[in-house]
Amino acid sequence: MLVFILGLYMTIVKGNLIKKVIGLNLAQTGVYTFFILTAKVNESTAPVYIGDEVRYANPLPQVLILTAIVVGISLTAFALGLVIRIYQAYGTIEESELSRLVQANREAQPSTLTPSSSGGEG
């Protein structure tokens, strides 16, 4: 939970877009560990069949989180790709500068971005 809140804090406070992505990752990791912890059974082992009757941890949350991690990876990949494109378009990835640029842009004539080479396809 602490990790989750830390990550959340980071996404809000940090001005650098990449650092925000890192924060997002942290937040997600917090949720993953939370899920994994719910699977813990006291004095249990890994859910591997070894012949005897043993207590074992609930494997289901781990499987779920595997899926969630995959989701997280694709999200991160896409977010980073997007940051690269933002950098190409604006020349900066600092939020304060970006909003300044956007503001200046709004006052001037809205410029159009020509469809450039790499479309984001997730």
Q: Which residues form the interface with other proteins (CB under 8 A)?
A: 4, 8, 11, 17, 20, 24, 27-28, 31, 34-35, 38, 61, 64, 67-68, 71, 74-75, 78-79, 82-83, 85-86, 89-90, 98, 102, 105, 110-113, 115, 119-122
- Tell which residue, 82, 72, 89, 102, has the closest CA to residue 17: 82
* Residue number, 46 or 102, with CB nearest to other proteins: 102
> Where are the alpha helices (H) located in 1-122, listed in sequence order?
2-13, 17-38, 59-90, 95-107
CB of 88 to other proteins, least distance (A): 9
For the record, the structure tokens of 14 come out as: 């940090």
Q: What is the DSSP letter of 50?
A: -
* Residue number, 52 or 71, with CB nearest to other proteins: 71
* Residue number, 45 or 74, with CB nearest to other proteins: 74
> Around 63, how many Cα atoms within 13 Å sit in the side-chain half-sphere?
5
* Residue number, 8 or 51, with CB nearest to other proteins: 8
